[in-house]
Amino acid sequence: MGICLILLSGHSLAQSGSRDLKDILNQILKRPADTTSDQLVVGKTLYTSVPFVGYAPANGFVVGGAASLTHLFGHPPTSISTGMFDIQATTKRQIITNARTKIYLRGNKWFFQGDWRLLIFTQTTYGLGIQNPDDPKLEFHINKMEETESSWGDPMKYNQFRFYEDASRKIGNSSFYVGLGVAIDQHFTINDVRLDTIPGSPDFYITNHYSYSVKNNFNPLKYGNNGIKLTLLTDTRDNISNSYKGYFASASVIYNVKIGNNSQQSSRFLYEAMYYLGLSKKRPRHVLAFWSWGSFLMQGNTPYLDLPSIGWDTYNRSGRGFIQGRYRGLNMMYNETEYRFPISKNGLLGGALFVNATNVSSYDQKLFEKVALGFGGGIRIQFDNRSRTNLGIDFGMGSDRSSGIYFNLQETF
């Protein structure tokens, strides 16, 4: 079991009748209360940072940090822009860096989304479709990183570079946007740890990754996707980092082009939808939230590690209750419902209950033939009232008998 020590810092404010973590720290340290206005200021950036150290058997000692940034580029109706950045390094020679941005320019005329990653990584994969062992071993993980080694998965080591960037333009005075972007994913220095292709060898074993790569003419040591993305989206959320009302929906087609010998031509359809139903005008943190996303192969073949997989969405937050990469498929549909509610009257503490369902397909399993269910709950600690930035700490369980603890800045979706 991992142990994680979290050190907190950030910029926040005191509100009449509402408190966040900065207020509590000021009270404990007997410092003057922050009397800054409770309104976001155009051009000023608010930030929340979470440095941490920890330990997990699969990763060794971990040191890193995460930061959430909030910025307002113009007066209303300009929406809030957010950024999430994190970096981790482990004694098992893993380096994990992520940067995600959602930026609304003045008047919401332009909307930019970014997802950049550089990983020196290790992860166990479990083939395609929803497959569980006959005698599953209880597994525990922290932030989807394995805490106990799987007895039947295929451990892998690889490096990954991702650059996703979309630019969307508002259509007239509507809430719809049309966008164009790039979606580049490169996996290299791939090592199938258990792979042994020598017939007759006592360790002879063909991994799911190797078998899929050979079947679809991908180099099992290095491959990638080089995509052009077309998107239509709409967004009416009142706050994109922690919504009390509104909805978001997008539909995209990615056309992957062949460049060099380690990529292929293919196309894929993606959708994502979120809806937030406020349950109380007096206490708006009572929210019923819905999230659905899907990825469907239209033409060609996609490299194994680029196939849709649980926990590999933009913010790595789908599939609480499971290890990242636990279910992977040619096509995938994911659905989640969460009830969010206040706990303390001063707004410092909140809670959440969630349930999710995953469907994936393989060559011999249809998309809705089986379902993987996850459920759980957690607490929310409010860092900053203006940006509604929360630290989420959740415990989840999956139908494969796995369980895990998850730490997030901002809401899960």
pLDDT in the model for residue 43: 84
Of 81, 82, 124, 72, give the one whose Cα is nearest residue 309.
Answer: 124
List, as own/partner pairs, every contact residues 61-65 make where C-beta atoms lie below 8 angstroms and the sequence separation is at least 24, other chains included.
Answer: 61/90, 61/91, 62/4, 62/88, 62/89, 62/90, 63/88, 63/89, 63/90, 64/88, 64/89, 64/96
Report the pLDDT value the prediction gives residue 142, as an integer from 0 to 100: 61
134/92: higher pLDDT: 92
Residues 329-348: pLDDT tens digits?
999 999 999 999 999 888 88
The better pLDDT of the pair 177, 123 is held by 177
Instruction: Measure Cα distances from 382 to 24, 241, 329 in Å.
Output: 11, 12, 36
All structural domains of the chain with their residue ranges: 3-409
Q: Provide the terminal-to-terminal Cα distance of the chain, rounded to the nearest Å.
A: 27
Distance of CA 164 to the CA centre of its chain: 14
pLDDT of residue 52: 72
How high is the mean pLDDT of the chain? 86
**pLDDT single digits (tens) 362-407:** 999 999 999 999 999 999 998 777 778 888 889 999 998 888 888 8
Confidence of residue 91 (pLDDT cuts 50, 70, 90): confident
Q: Tokens representing 124?
A: 């166990």
Q: Which residue has the tokens 């894929």?
A: 268
Cα separation, 352 vs 338, in Å, equals 7
Comparing CA positions, the residue from 397, 398, 386, 407 lying closest to residue 80 is: 386
pLDDT of 13: 33
Interval 5-15: pLDDT, tens: 444 444 433 33
Q: How far is CA 364 from CA 6, 131, 164, 197, 360, in A?
A: 44, 11, 31, 24, 11
Q: What pLDDT is attached to residue 60?
A: 60
Q: Give residue 348's pLDDT.
A: 87
The highest-level CATH class for domain 3-409 is: mainly beta
CB atoms within 10 A of CB 268: 24
Q: Nearest Cα to 385, choosing from 24, 2, 5? A: 24
- Residue 166 predicted with pLDDT over 70: yes
Confidence band for 19, pLDDT divided at 50, 70 and 90? low
Task: Point out the least confidently predicted range of 110-114, 143-147, 189-193, 349-353.
Answer: 143-147
Give pLDDT, residue 385.
Answer: 78
Contact 119/97 with Cβ under 8 angstroms?
Answer: yes
Instruction: Work out the average pLDDT over 286-310.
Output: 97
Residue 3: band (very low, low, confident or very high) from pLDDT cuts 50, 70, 90:
very low
With a cut of 90, say whether residue 36 has pLDDT above it.
Answer: no
User: Mean pLDDT over residues 61-68, rounded?
Assistant: 84
For residue range 147-164, list pLDDT tens digits in order.
445 567 899 999 999 999
Looking at the predicted structure, is the pLDDT value of residue 136 above 70? Answer: no
